[in-house]
A = this chain, B = another copy of it.
């Protein structure tokens, strides 16, 4: 019996598991101390009424033999796939329901999709980055190349024609930096992918936070992307589904490699390894697209974006350099006083009771940065920013 030796190359803990441990140690040492959590990107507003009503009704359906639902379609119910396709259509992006695969959140499918690709492909990943992209490829033993996302390129790396890659990860609006690619920049990536016969795995989990109409919310807004990209979306941040678990993956019918369409290959994988999202949850997700649902989630997103604006204002007043916070729920700031990521993380936790996420946890280029999220309550966000300001005055650089 041999274990998967690739796991030896991983850090022992997933980043957010490490942060949880640090928080637990702090709370044990300072019982009763109030903590402002701006670390893990978890939402705080409840599910909207449209979603709640739909799920209640679905639970009722499950209670009666006439309306009970057992195994659902592997790719998700048609009612939800059609709602997703229609939503893309309204934005001028043609997506057929047959190209939509309902997932239980971006993470599962961004990890699972790798199953259909050979382990001998070369993977290109931005640094800093959501740790899942890197770890899942290390687990499978793939060769990973990093591209630098740094202040000089506004954390938006562009293709280097001298570097060959087969699988490319892009996340826009970006986690952790909050940076958003323009259409021209994404077109550069699409051109690169087509030239290199590569596939772009496009993480659009934060697309609903884009306010600037000139910025793309889907890679399929870019001509030619249907032949080279897979898009992953989630209701987690859009509709507060972090604990409810639903999203969708779009694989265009035109996406083929080695003479094969990737959609059917993915369905073969999913039908073998997965049984789909709960019926109740899919009904809740469908309600996100109803007129009431749209209006209600828009309010929540507005609420979080008002937090982000307040945070941005505070950081500007403090003279702290940052990106994000405009078309993104994340703010990526340079640690004051030349502190390292974990030094500032510890200082904030110990001296101010504020939890951020150490930038170094997202990759080497994250060193010296910290990520804050706008997903808190209004008062706690204001309190967090006051504490950050006060700490800065106590420890001037």
Contact = CB atoms under 8 A, between A and B. Distances in A.
Nearest to A375: B70
13 contacts: A1-B196, A2-B120, A2-B258, A5-B118, A14-B268, A16-B271, A62-B244, A71-B242, A107-B275, A111-B273, A132-B273, A139-B269, A278-B280
Interface string A127-152: 00001100110010000000000000
A349 to B, nearest CB: 19
A346 interface: no
Contact of A69 (B243, B269, B276): B243
Interface string A50-65: 0010011001101111
Contacts of A196: 1
B63 A243 contact: no
A121 interface: yes
Contact of A268 (B10, B120, B199): B10
A68 interface: yes
Interface string A265-295: 1001101111111111100000000000000
A279 B139 CA distance: 28
Contact of A65 (B46, B107, B121): B46
Given A112-B273, A258-B1, A47 B70 contact: no
A351 interface: no
Interface string A336-352: 00000000000000000
A107 B2 contact: no
Contacts of A273: 107-108, 111-112, 132, 136
A3 B272 contact: no
Contacts of A2: 117-118, 120-121, 166, 258
Nearest to A259: B3
A23 interface: no
Given A42-B71, A44-B65, A71-B42, A245 B276 contact: yes
A38 to B, nearest CB: 14
Contacts of A45: 65, 68
A7 interface: yes
Contact of A281 (B7, B10, B278): B278
A76 interface: no
A74 B47 CA distance: 21
A105 interface: yes
Given A62-B52, A272-B136, A280-B55, A4 B115 contact: yes
A197 interface: yes
Contact of A1 (B117, B119, B139): B117
A242 B383 CA distance: 45
A44 B199 CA distance: 42
Given A16-B271, A46-B63, 18 more contacts: A1-B196, A1-B258, A2-B120, A3-B258, A3-B260, A3-B265, A7-B116, A10-B268, A40-B71, A47-B68, A68-B243, A69-B243, A70-B240, A105-B275, A108-B274, A111-B274, A131-B272, A245-B277
A257 interface: yes
Interface in A142-193: 166-167
